[in-house]
Amino acid sequence: MTRGRCPLSLARVAVASVLLAVLSLVVGRAAAEPPAPVDGKTAFERLKTLAGTWQGQAGHGPADQAAIVTYRVASGGSVVEETLFPGTPHEMISMYHLVDGELVLTHYCAMANQPRMRLDRKASTPDRLVFAFDGGTNFDPAKDTHIHAGVVEWKGESLHNVWTVYSGGKEAGRNEFDLARAKEPAQPTPPQPASYPR
């Protein structure tokens, strides 16, 4: 005499199979969907957290020379000023601000041109802001050397910035910065009143 399978066991197997199929569809869909674009205002607020002095290495390609970069929030919180190599002949400034909710920057280059860039919301993440070329002044992008794109990336407590250089209408190199927040200088000891021997 053969024993038949219990209908209750078959029902459990069927329900478990259906649940497993639904779960794999949901997980597969979530993995396939690209992350939501980064909001310009949120990205700008994140940039504000960089306020202070950063130091590390910079170079054309691998970072191989000492570098200092400062960030300052100015004009009532409406702009972030980034200064590369402050106080040197190679000093350059980039100004970040919002235009109709979109994060933009103008780079005031030591080459005496001013490329503009706009946050590429789709290519960016909260920890990696990607900036795409958006015009500029005092150069012809089809011929002249200029900074064409940039990335500001948080890596834990460190910062990795990449500025893509174009010349002749195509990529000609990258300037990379590997930075860490500078330790705040010790506060000076207040002067003590003079004490004279009696």
Domain residues of the chain, as ranges? 40-181
By C-alpha distance, which of 129, 115, 94 is closest to 166? 115
Residue 162 in 3-state DSSP?
Answer: strand
Contact residues for 165 (Cβ-Cβ < 8 A; gap 6+): 145, 146, 147, 148, 171, 172, 173, 174, 175
Q: What pLDDT, on the 0 to 100 scale, is given for residue 196?
A: 46
Contacts of 108 (CB under 8 A, 6+ apart): 92, 93, 94, 95, 114
Give the pLDDT confidence of 143-173 residue by residue, as tens digits. Answer: 999 999 999 999 999 999 999 999 999 999 9
Q: Rounded to whole angstroms, how far apart are CA atoms 76 and 67?
A: 28
Is there a contact between 93 and 110 (Cβ–Cβ < 8 Å)? Answer: no
Q: How far apart are CA 82 and CA 73, in angstroms?
A: 9
Indicate the pairing of strand 102-108 with strand 114-119: antiparallel
Cβ partners under 8 Å of residue 117, min gap 6: 104, 105, 107, 131, 132, 133, 134, 149, 150
How high does pLDDT run on average in the chain?
A: 85
User: What is the pLDDT at residue 81?
Assistant: 98
pTM of the predicted protein model: 0.76
Sites in the chain below the pLDDT cut of 70: 1-35, 61-63, 184-198
List Cβ neighbours of 99 (8 Å cut-off, separation of 6 or more): none
Query: Cα(95)–Cα(92) distance, rounded to whole angstroms?
Result: 10
pLDDT at 178: 95
The topology (CATH level 3) of 40-181 is: Lipocalin (2.40.128)
d(CA 117, CA 135): 7
